[in-house]
Structure formats: C-alpha cells, structure tokens
Structure 1
Amino acid sequence: MNELYLIGDVARRTGLSVSAIRFYADEGIVTPAGLTEGGFRQYDVHAIARLELVRTLRDLGAGLDDIRRVLAAETTLQDLAATHLRLVEDRLRQFRARRAVLRTIVRQHTTTEQVSLMHKLVSMSDDDRDRLLTEFWDFVTDGLDVHPGYVERLRSRRPNLPEEPAAEQLEAWIELADLVRDERFRTALRDHLHRIFGTEQGKLMASPEMMARAERHRQLFLEAQAAQQAGVAADSPQARDIAERMAARNAEFAAAMTGEPDAGKSRRALAGFDRDKPAEVRAKMTGLNLIVRYGTLVATINGTPKPDPDKAAAVQEWLAAALRQGPPDGHRS
C-alpha cells in the first residue's frame, strides 16, 4: 500500500518549508500524488525522495532549470555535479583572490588606485604573469655582457602560482608583481647586475665553469646544513670532514677567480667566521637585498624553502667550529 503524507509531514521529513514544497509543486518540479477530500495536498514516498533530492541540489547551488533536467532524466546527476563543481572552484578562486587583496589593504595604507591594481594582479592568467616576468627580466638584463647561460639562469627564477594558492602565496604574488613593475626596483637591480658583472672578474664569475663550481659548493653547503640540523656535533669526525672539504672547495673557487691559490687563507677565513660581519655586508649591499627579496617572494609563491640568513649563519658557525678542531684522521683533501 502506497502511504500518503500531508504537506506538514513532508516538510518535517525533508527539512523544506511548507511554502517551498508548495512552490515546487506550483512550478511543476515535484507535484503531489493527490488531494484529500478537503483539498489538502498529499505526497507519496517517491515524491518525498524527489523533494529531498531537490533540497540537496538547491543547497549545492543548482537552479530550477537544472533540477528539472535532472528529474526529467535529460541530464545525469554526474554531469550536473561536474558543471557545478567547476562553478564552485571558480568562485573559490575568486574568494581567495579577494581575501588576499583585503588582507593586503588591512596591513598597509592602500590607495584606491592600488586596490584596483592589486585586484588585476590576482586575476591574471598564467600567460599574463609570464609576460609580466619576461618584460621585467628583459629590462633588467638588457645589455648585460655575460655568458648567455647565466642570463638564462636569472630569467628562469620565476613564480609558479598553483591553481589553488594559499593566502600567503597570493599575497606574495601581489607584492612581487607590484615590485617588478616598480621602476626604482627594476632600475636598482639592473644597475646592481651591470656593476657586478661589468668587470672581467664578474664575467668570469658568470661563466659555465664557475657556475658549475658554485653548484658543487651549494650541494656541499646543503650537506653541511643537513648534518648541522640533524644535531651532528661540531667536534665529530663527520663535521670536521665536511668542514675540511668546504675549506678546500673555497680555496679552489678563490684560485679560479684570482689565479692565486692560498688554501691557508681560505681555511682561516672559514674558521674565523663572524656572524655579525655578513649581516653588516648584507645591510650595505642594496643590490644583494633586492635579489634576496625577489628570491624570497618567488620561494613563497612556489612553496619552496625561502632564503634564511640566520640559518645559513648557523651552518657557517658550525663549520667554523668544526674546522677549529683540526683535520680528522685520514682526511682526504
């Protein structure tokens, strides 16, 4: 027997209001199974199930026409869900962009013109972002007389904003995009690069051979950093071995740059590391600070480790302490 329910019972079962149930009946979406002698609407279990589906679809943002097509089997529930999923994801991206802009406005004094610009920046397509960075590096490296491989290495340092970026990544993109459009920043960085690489020694530093040496040095530093962060004692044979190899690597680098090998000088420089001196140098080197800021923002956007001068200094102190212990037994230089 097909039991029938009055509209009040249907409302309690579906969570819809009586007026909503009447609306869907009037729109021909879910009609009652019949009427009582007094003219009250009655619904069977099939109608109740359809009303529950209608409520779910409405909660998910479906319109009346979409619901009609689903109930009439003109479209599948899966196709409808896929369409609305795309809409929801687009809306989420819009909300994340708005949140990034609003957070930036809250943290700083922002003009009306800047708000408009920030909104455009977070709404950029991948192609738009790529063109912006290409134009920036074209300007910064224009006329830079170094090996093309080094220029390409500079130009490859680009942000890759993920499809679903975190607020921090969007905020970093806003700052970076604003930065690379800033004429003072662009000019200062270009002047720094031309000044550094405008000498014969600078050109040598950007050569493939020196870049390869720099990469080997970076890999050795990462080995030292991993050991230091793992708690390896500075007076251990492992630490002393790494420190001796670093001192030798520094001496080789200096000899390649100056043509005057002085292993003792390189070793003394590493063993006498003073945390305050690099900080003083960084504070005075505007160009270096510009590069570090750019690199920090790119790392934030890409979700990769950010430059951390304090961590780097801690590793240098660990190497210096290890080197002062003397070479380990059986050390190979």
Structure 2
Amino acid sequence: MNELYPIGDVARRTGLSVSAIRFYADEGVVTPTGLTEGGFRQYDVHAIARLELVRTLRDLGASLDDIRQVLAAETTLHDLAATHLRLVEGQLRQFRARRAVLRTIVRQHTTTEQVSLIHKLVSMSDDDRDRLINQFWDFVTEGLDVHPSYPDRLHSQRPRLPEEPSTEQLEAWIELAEIVQDEEFRTAVRDFFRRAFGTEKGKLMATPEMMARAERHRKLLLEARAAQQAGVPADSRQARDIAERVAADAAEFTAALTGEHDPDRARRGIVEFDRNGKAAQWRAKSTGLKLLTRYQSLLATINGTPKPDPDQATAVREWMAAALS
C-alpha cells in the first residue's frame, strides 16, 4: 500500500515550509497525491522525492519553468545542470574580478578616478593584455643594441591568466598592468637593460649561444635547489657531485664570455659565497633590477609559476659552498 503523508510531515522530510509546498502545488509543479475527507493535502513518497528535487534545483538557481520541464521530462537534469553550471561559473568569474578590484581599492586607498581604470584592467581581454605588455617591452627594448632574438625573449615574458583566475592572480594582474604603464617604472627598467647590455660583453650575453648556456646553468641550479630542499646533506657525495657540475659549467660559461677557462676560480666563487657580498650589495642598489624582479614576481603569481626568491637562492648557494668545502 502506498502510504500518504500529511503536509506537515512532508515539510519536515523535505525541509520546505508548508507554505512553499502549497505554493508548488498551486503552481502545478508538484501536486498532492490525494486529499483527506476534510480537504487536507497528502503526498506519497514519490511526490516527496519530487519536492526534494524541487528544493535542490531552486537552491541551485533553477526557475519554476526549468523545474517543470525537468519533472515533465521535457529536458534532462544533465542539460539543466550544464546550463546552470555555465551561469554559475560566469558569476564566479565576475565575483572574483569584483573582489580583486575591491581588495585593491582597500589596500591602495584608491581614488575615485582610479576605480574605473582598475575595473577596466581586470576586465581586459587576452588580446588587450598582450597589446599592453607588447607596448611595455617595445618601450624597454627600443634602441637596445643586441641580437634580435633577445628582445623577442623579453616579449615572451607575459601574463597568461587562466580561464578561472584566483583573486590573487587578478590582483597581481592589476598591479602588473599599472606598473608597466608607469613612466618611472618603464624608464628605470629600460635604463637597466641599456647599462647591462651596453658593453661588448653585455652584447655577447644576449646572443642565442649564451642564452642557451645560461638556460643550461639555470637547470643545474634548479637541480641543486631540488636536492637542497629535499634535505640532501651538504656533506654527501650527491651534493658534492651537483656542486662540482655547477662549478664546471660556470667555468665554461665564463670561458665562452671572456676566453678564460679557470675551474678553480669558479669553485672558489661558490665556496667563498657570502650572503652580504658584492652581489647582494649590487642587487640592493640596482633600482632597475629590483623593479624587474617585481615584474617577474607578479608574472609568476599570474601564471602560477615559482616566484623569484633571493633568500632561497642564497640557501642553495650556501649549501653548494658547504658541499665543496
């Protein structure tokens, strides 16, 4: 026998109010299974299950017409869910963008004149972002007397916001878009590159051959960092092997740049590494380098890649120094 339940029991089972159940009945969404002699509505388990589905779909934002179509089998639950999923994802993207704008306004004490600009930046298309970054690197590399492949390499350092960026990624993009349009920032970075590549040695550094060597050395340093972070003891054979290979590669790099091949000097350069040495002092004084590092840090946040970390690099250098000592 199909047991019937009074509307009060149905309300407790479904979590709907009595008035909501009556509303759905009056709208023809889920009608009562039967009536008592006194005219009170009653529902069987099938009707209760339909009411539970109605509640779930309403919580997910479905309209009464959508629900009627599902219950009447005029549309599938899958198709309805897919449609609403697209709507929800679109709303989430908008909310993330709004949150990023609001957090930027609060953090930077943004003026009313800047609000529209920030909103415009966060709403940019991929093409607009590419155009903005190209304009920045065009300005920075204008008149830079180096191999033409090097400016192309710099132009490739661009943000790639994912389809569903986080608030942090959007905030990073807002800041990046602002600084690449800042005249002082652009000029400082341009001057840094002109100083760095204004000599014959600097021009040689920007050739494809030296860039390939630099990339090879970077991968060796990444290997060293992975070992150091994995807890490989500095006095182990593995650590010494890695440090020796880094030193040998550094010697070859220097030889290609200056013509002088001195493996012992390269090893001493690692062993005598000092966190407060000349390199650290130079980095602290170089405004252009600090600004470029900020650009790269924001880029890493946007693209979801590791950020430049001077402290981490120092720890790896000290680990290699201990391995060779």
> Same fold by TM-score, threshold 0.5 exceeded?
yes
The two structures, once aligned, show a CA RMSD in angstroms of: 2.4
- C-alpha offsets along residues 223-280 of structure 1, whole Å, 9 cap, x if unaligned? 3323333444444444444434333333332232233444554443333222112221
- 5 Å-filtered alignment, 1:169-180, equals 169-180=169-180
What residue in structure 1 maps to residue 129 of structure 2?
Answer: 129
- 5 Å-filtered alignment, 1:9-158, equals 9-158=9-158
Q: Is 1:294 matched up with 2:260?
A: no
Instruction: Tell me: CA distance 1:24–1:214, structure 2 relative to 1, closer, same or farther (3 Å).
Output: same
Q: Which moved more, 1:177-186 or 1:110-119?
A: 110-119
Q: Is 1:320 matched up with 2:325?
A: no
Q: Is 1:285 matched up with 2:282?
A: no
Instruction: Tell me: CA distance 1:50–1:280, structure 2 relative to 1, closer, same or farther (3 Å).
Output: same
What residue in structure 2 maps to residue 247 of structure 1?
Answer: 247
Instruction: Tell me: CA distance 1:56–1:321, structure 2 relative to 1, closer, same or farther (3 Å).
Output: closer
Q: Which moved more, 1:84-93 or 1:39-48?
A: 39-48
- Total equivalences in the alignment: 324
Amino acid in structure 1 at the alignment position of 2:309: D
Q: Which moved more, 1:42-51 or 1:69-78?
A: 42-51
Rounded Cα–Cα distance in structure 1 between residues aligned with 2:19 and 2:204: 81
Q: Which moved more, 1:302-311 or 1:111-120?
A: 111-120
2:144 is paired with a residue whose SS is: coil
What residue in structure 1 maps to residue 219 of structure 2?
Answer: 219
Instruction: Tell me: CA distance 1:270–1:10, structure 2 relative to 1, closer, same or farther (3 Å).
Output: closer
Question: Structure 1 regions of 5+ residues with no counterpart?
Answer: 326-333
Q: Is 1:6 matched up with 2:6?
A: yes
Rounded Cα–Cα distance in structure 1 between residues aligned with 2:293 and 2:13: 62
Instruction: Quote the sequence identity (%).
Output: 79
Instruction: Tell me: CA distance 1:243–1:23, structure 2 relative to 1, closer, same or farther (3 Å).
Output: closer
Instruction: Tell me: CA distance 1:13–1:233, structure 2 relative to 1, closer, same or farther (3 Å).
Output: closer
TM-score, scaled to structure 1: 0.87
Q: Which moved more, 1:280-289 or 1:125-134?
A: 125-134
Rounded Cα–Cα distance in structure 1 between residues aligned with 2:37 and 2:318: 93
Rounded Cα–Cα distance in structure 1 between residues aligned with 2:315 and 2:275: 8
Instruction: Tell me: CA distance 1:42–1:249, structure 2 relative to 1, closer, same or farther (3 Å).
Output: closer
Amino acid in structure 1 at the alignment position of 2:218: R
1:276 is paired with a residue whose SS is: coil
Q: Which moved more, 1:62-71 or 1:125-134?
A: 125-134
Amino acid in structure 2 at the alignment position of 1:315: V
Q: Is 1:272 matched up with 2:277?
A: no
Rounded Cα–Cα distance in structure 1 between residues aligned with 2:273 and 2:116: 48
Shift of 1:10: 2.6
Shift of 1:134: 2.4
Instruction: Tell me: CA distance 1:266–1:53, structure 2 relative to 1, closer, same or farther (3 Å).
Output: closer
2:32 is paired with a residue whose SS is: coil
TM-score, scaled to structure 2: 0.89
Instruction: Tell me: CA distance 1:3–1:150, structure 2 relative to 1, closer, same or farther (3 Å).
Output: same
Question: Structure 2 regions of 5+ residues with no counterpart?
Answer: none
Shift of 1:106: 3.1
